[in-house]
Chain A
Amino acid sequence: MRQIKPLERYGYADFICYALNAAEELQDSEPRNFREALESNESKDWLKAMNEEMLSLEKNQTWKLVSLPKNQRVVGSKWVFKKKEGISGVEAPRYKARLVAKGFTQVEGIDYNEIFSPVVKHCSIRVLMMIVNMYDLELEQMDVKTAFLHGELEETIYMQQPEGFVEDNTKVCFLKQSLYRLKQSPRQWYRQFDEFLVKAGFVRSDYDSCVYMMRKNEKVILYLLLYVDDILMASSDRQEIQKLKKRLNDEFEMKDLGNAKRILGMDIMRDRNKGELFLSQQGYLRKVVERFRMKDSKVVGTPLGHHTKLSIK
């Protein structure tokens, strides 16, 4: 009698391969909620991360514990966990826990009104690059740590106490400052930052509300572009940039990234001797090509084949 064998491709090696993949996924996976964090092998690290987050929220005076007034809505809250892989042997992995509000439970007109928040236009970035290159300006970059925690709330919002850190069962958090994932967080952050810049003497552009300028004297202008929490600064005077950085640092907690190298996935390459500036997305596009397994494809010279007259059918 003919023996039926399983197909070659379902062989033993494939099972091993699958198992390894699955194991890797399990190992790498971050806890999805508070319970999983406690049950994971790294529960100690997660607890520590949560304690850190609680401390910074307390320092920031994000909320006040109050008893819930009658007929008031409560917005949920949850923990989000992120593990940043370090380099083995050199840098330990970092564990991050962030408390977020369940923004999807917010109701328009009660929990939030306006939520639009502008970001800088790509065109403005390119115009700035042009100017930077033409006048050989210094171009530096910073980003704001926990930007959204800086906004102040206009609406009255009550939120559940964070899981695992409930102090008094009968009370809820009355939010004074915004929190990640609240609908209005981006807007409130933008307003906060805008207010600071205007007070610092910057003028907001009429053409792009994320472009700011300050004329120091006849020769020196300070440019500042804002993309949510990414900041580009340009000026001919290095001192002025340093001063601005210090002021920003005093007001918000910032991370100094030095000379700008990447903005919005674009690599900025400069050759100041030659007076050239190059914007490209080589790294990003290579990844895209590899993801679609087209790395070894035959190269063509046009973006679309001239014979492809495409239609719906």
Chain B
Amino acid sequence: MAGTPYASGVGSIMYGMVCSRPDLSYAISVISRFMENPGQMHWQALKWVLRYLNGSLKGGLKYTRSQPGMDALEGYVDADYAGNVDTRKSLSGFVFTLFGTAVTWKVALSTTQAEYIALVEGVKEAIWLKGMIGEMGISQGCVKIHCDNQSVIHLANHQVYHERTNTLTFVCTLLET
């Protein structure tokens, strides 16, 4: 498959993902792993993404005015334990919404306990975002971060995160079954 514009395609879509299309994050994180030596399967996956794009060109981020009593900032984290077939690395990701619309998102590979890393990454982002919006005039007390893993919730509510639980409470809901 040498000579196909695989990297160019991934890059072009990636720019869309970074700017206004969080829905492409996972797909990009998967197809961008094979840039070095893409095979036919990978090229097909890329074309699949393009077909999806073709049907959702108008998609983007829509910001609306908030309803009273709504939390400003809210986060969602999740992980896919050892989901990578080649390296058994895990995938973690998060999305943060501001009054209901996504403002920041990320999908990343990690080698350690995926669910916990996902939460840590989420908290790091939350701290930055909270400061940022505070400076720009939106005050936010606690940041809710949703997470579906019981052991991580347990871990987070005890020992390690003591200094941070003051500012961030973990409200954890079951997102998936």
On A, residues with C-beta under 8 Å from B are: 122-124, 126-131, 133-134, 205-208, 211, 213, 221, 223, 264-266, 275-282, 284-286, 288-289, 291-292, 294-295, 297-305, 308-313
Contact = CB atoms under 8 A, between A and B. Distances in A.
Interface stretch (B109-117, B129-137, B149-157, B160-168): B129-137
Contact of A131 (B9, B129, B131, B137): B137
A297 B50 contact: yes
Given A213-B136, A285-B53, A127 B18 contact: no
Contacts, number: 170
Contacts of A130: 63, 98-99, 101, 103
A113 B49 CA distance: 43
Contacts of A280: 20, 58-61
B131 A206 contact: yes
Interface residues of B, number: 60
Contacts of B37: 312
Given A207-B128, A288-B13, A281 B60 contact: yes
27 contacts: A122-B19, A123-B103, A123-B104, A123-B132, A126-B98, A127-B98, A127-B129, A134-B66, A213-B135, A265-B15, A276-B64, A278-B63, A279-B20, A279-B60, A280-B61, A288-B9, A289-B54, A294-B53, A299-B54, A303-B24, A303-B26, A304-B30, A304-B31, A304-B48, A304-B49, A308-B45, A313-B39
A123 B58 CA distance: 21
A291 B47 CA distance: 12
Nearest to B39: A313
A266 B19 contact: yes
Interface of B: 5, 9, 12-13, 15-16, 18-21, 23-24, 26-27, 30-31, 33-34, 37, 39, 41-42, 44-45, 47-55, 57-66, 85-86, 98-99, 101-104, 128-129, 131-133, 135-138
Contacts of B104: 123, 126
A295 B41 CA distance: 21
B85 A264 contact: no
A217 B67 CA distance: 26
Contacts of A312: 33-34, 37, 86
A310 B24 contact: no
Contacts of A286: 57
Most chain-A Cβ atoms within 10 A of its Cβ — which of B21, B31, B63?
A: B63
Given A282-B60, A297-B51, A310-B45, 4 more contacts: A129-B63, A206-B135, A288-B50, A300-B55
Contacts of B15: 265, 281, 284
Contact of B129 (A122, A123, A128, A303): A123
Contacts of B98: 126-127, 130
Nearest to B60: A280
A304 B32 CA distance: 13
Nearest to A289: B54
Nearest to B98: A130
Given A131-B138, A313-B39, A300 B64 contact: no
Contacts of B61: 126, 129, 278-280
B57 A207 contact: no
A125 to B, nearest CB: 9
**The 4 residue pairs across chains A and B that have the minimum distance between CB atoms:** A280-B60, A299-B55, A303-B27, A207-B132
Contact of A295 (B24, B54, B86, B133): B54
Contact of A299 (B24, B51, B137): B51
A287 to B, nearest CB: 9
Given A130-B63, A130-B103, A304-B26, A310 B42 contact: yes
A98 B159 CA distance: 61
Nearest to B18: A122
Nearest to A136: B65
A283 to B, nearest CB: 9
A8 B16 CA distance: 41
A277 B62 contact: yes
